Chains A and B, each alone.
Chain A
Amino acid sequence: MVANMKRIFALYGISAKLDLLWFLRDTKNCVLNIMADLVSSLSTILAMFLLSQRFDSIGGMSSDHILFMLGFACLLDGLNLMFFTMNNVGYISRIIGRGQLDHKLIQPNPIWMQLLTDGFIPFSGSSTFLCGIGLIAFSSIKLNLNLNILDIGFLIFYLICSVIIIFSFSYIFSCIAFYAPVAGEEVSTAAVGLLDNLKGFPLGGIPYQLQIIFTTILPIGMTAWYPANLLLGNKLNFTNYLLIIVTLSLLLIATILFRKGLKHYATKGSIRYADRGHRR
């Protein structure tokens, strides 16, 4: 356990170093990338923000509540970007579909460890995260929320759960790429895109049965709406433990399916190889 933790921190360290080196060596390109990430993240929440300003209240949430929720969504985006975007770690179907899994299999580290650490870009990937902190802080002030240490602890915990949900959801769909590399190469883009594009949507106004679906099987509501409402103290028609239940369930399903897919990959191999996106 201790040895594993040491390895993980060492791998995080080298990933962070490589990111910093890239940032310092190719600053122009790096700044452009940061801008692109920021524009991309903000554009997914801008639509809902404009709608909330236009209509004052959507799905039982005021425009300020929605701003808080969008801040949470931005923070979530930022975390995903910092930990799981580089090297297509969060979009594993691209790695599988392009036959690039071999690069991971010839390293003397468990696959799970590589997936946890390969995508770490704390410098170039921090823009959206910082933006999210700003939005949360601003909306908290507007709402007169006095966030104490416990609240921040819950915020971090809910963020981690949401990250795991997105990660697991992506991996569940990405397993398609094991069986159909060409058709499945970009399926993770669609899966993450679904959660990404809809994470800022308040689901309060939709029928209860659909709310259940969108907080469990298709966990759109679990990315920002549900955890934001928990933090705001708004009453929802669900148990407060639903986030944890969904997180653990999706993680378990993703683990089982991915292991199955890996076995299949080891049996069938990959007829494709494209170096596009490999360590770029």
Chain B
Amino acid sequence: MQLKDQYVMQTVDIAVNIENVTKEFKQWQRGSDIKDIVTNLLKPKTKTVKALNDVSLKINKGEFVAYAGANGAGKSTTIKILSGIMHPSYGKVSVLGLNPKVSRIELMKRIGVVFGQRTELWWDHPISASFDWKRVAWNIDKDQFKKRLDKLIELLDLSAILDTFARELSLGQRMRADLALMLLHNPDVIFLDEPTLGLDVLAKRHMIDYLKKINQEDGVTIVVTSHDMDDLEEMAQRIILLSNGQIAFDGSFDSLREHTGNLCRIKIYTNNGHKHNLKTAKLIKSEKGFSEYQFDSQKNSIPSVLNELSNIDSIHDIEIYKAPIEQVIAELYTSWK
């Protein structure tokens, strides 16, 4: 794809290194008629899908990277390859200098993985039992474990649910508990696959705040995938956009906006509630009392838009802001189709 803004490496310590990785899958293609049963059995049709197509990227230690893309872009596949669950069809992968294929056990002691739709908690036990299990399974020193656990309980507000069975937790509580479980062994790198899925505003807030804290204070490298662009923009400094298995963009959110035209929005509040069409901006919404417009600030500068608006007498208030990143991405996805 066309948009590539190469992120400049400031430090030399690489946490994640993916070199020319391709991952192919064969998908069964089946007809749904009864007569297709015989064909499906004796001569099944397959289609080869490239989930990742010659992907190369480097992530430094201490970075917080958003890894985004439309459904089916290859995000989860990348996370699985990095955590050693899957191996690439071609190319090389290293995490903290280790090859996930060869050094899986050693790597698991140093990284943490959370899949948003899956839990590692023991369903029929209180979460404290799951934490105890983790201590033994990961062979964590007792004193270090206690210190770490106390800190996590405080930061993730788990004290009220420590003795609650995992099956009785709400989704937000469960995600916080899963996050704590993952962090107990103090990983250097964390992979989070859709961790905010289904969380309410408060739960999301907790999670984002905590992730930012451990990234800034402890230097934990974090790679997070999500569809929630606003959350990603708040958490991460760098965004890697995947499209059809290839990296379509790699850079900061600001440069992403620049690449996609620096979309801005302006909302005007009028006394008479009338709709006004502008030459310098496109009307996107108009309801009683206000109208919202969108414009590309590279083509039509803010002063030029304001100049046109100054002809409208009934305006009593104005808001100007950058277009939500979600929309920027959506327009990108549309352009790639």
- The short answer to whether A and B are in direct contact, CB under 8 Å, is yes
Residues of A within 8 A of B (CB): 7, 10-11, 13-14, 17-18, 21-22, 25-26, 102-103, 105-110, 266-269, 273, 275, 278-280
Check if B83 sits within 8 Å of A268, measured CB to CB.
no
Check if A108 sits within 8 Å of B109, measured CB to CB.
yes
26 contacting pairs across A/B (C-beta < 8 A): A7-B139, A13-B136, A14-B132, A14-B136, A14-B137, A17-B132, A18-B125, A18-B133, A102-B80, A102-B115, A105-B83, A106-B85, A106-B113, A107-B138, A108-B108, A108-B109, A108-B138, A108-B139, A110-B105, A266-B85, A266-B86, A266-B87, A267-B86, A273-B118, A279-B120, A280-B123
Does B122 interact with chain A (Cβ within 8 Å)? yes
Question: Chain A CB within 10 Å — which of B85, B106, B120, B133 has the most?
Answer: B85
Check if B118 sits within 8 Å of A275, measured CB to CB.
yes
Given known pairs A266-B86, A280-B123, the reply for A21 and B108 (CB within 8 Å) is no
In chain B between 59 and 99, which residues have their CB closer than 8 angstroms to a CB of chain A? 77, 80, 83-87, 89
Residues of B within 8 A of A105 (CB): 83-85, 104
Check if A10 sits within 8 Å of B85, measured CB to CB.
no
Give min CB distance, A22 to chain B, whole Å. Answer: 6
Check if B118 sits within 8 Å of A14, measured CB to CB.
no
Check if A22 sits within 8 Å of B124, measured CB to CB.
yes
Check if B133 sits within 8 Å of A102, measured CB to CB.
no
Give min CB distance, B90 to chain A, whole Å. Answer: 12
Does B101 interact with chain A (Cβ within 8 Å)? yes
Does B162 interact with chain A (Cβ within 8 Å)? no
Check if A103 sits within 8 Å of B86, measured CB to CB.
no
Complex interface bits, B164-179 against A, C-beta within 8 A gives 1, otherwise 0? 0000000000000000
In chain B between 109 and 132, which residues have their CB closer than 8 angstroms to a CB of chain A? 109, 113, 115, 117-125, 129, 132
Interface of B is mostly: loop
Residues of A within 8 A of B85 (CB): 102, 105-106, 266, 269
Does B25 interact with chain A (Cβ within 8 Å)? yes
Check if B133 sits within 8 Å of A14, measured CB to CB.
yes
Interface of A is mostly: helix
Given known pairs A102-B85, A110-B105, the reply for A10 and B139 (CB within 8 Å) is yes
Give min CB distance, B106 to chain A, whole Å. Answer: 8
Residues of A within 8 A of B129 (CB): 18, 21
Residues of B within 8 A of A103 (CB): 118, 120
Interface size class of B (residues with CB under 8 A): 20 to 34
Residues of B within 8 A of A278 (CB): 123
Residues of A within 8 A of B125 (CB): 18, 21-22, 25
Check if B25 sits within 8 Å of A269, measured CB to CB.
yes
Check if B89 sits within 8 Å of A109, measured CB to CB.
no
Residues of B within 8 A of A10 (CB): 136, 139
Residues of B within 8 A of A268 (CB): 25-26, 86
Residues of B within 8 A of A107 (CB): 108, 137-138
- For the complex, what is the distance from the CA of A273 to the CA of B118, rounded to whole Å? 9
- For the complex, what is the distance from the CA of A269 to the CA of B113, rounded to whole Å? 16
- For the complex, what is the distance from the CA of A106 to the CA of B104, rounded to whole Å? 8
Given known pairs A11-B136, A109-B105, the reply for A279 and B87 (CB within 8 Å) is no
Check if B89 sits within 8 Å of A267, measured CB to CB.
yes
Nearest-neighbor residue (CB-CB) of B163 within chain A: A25
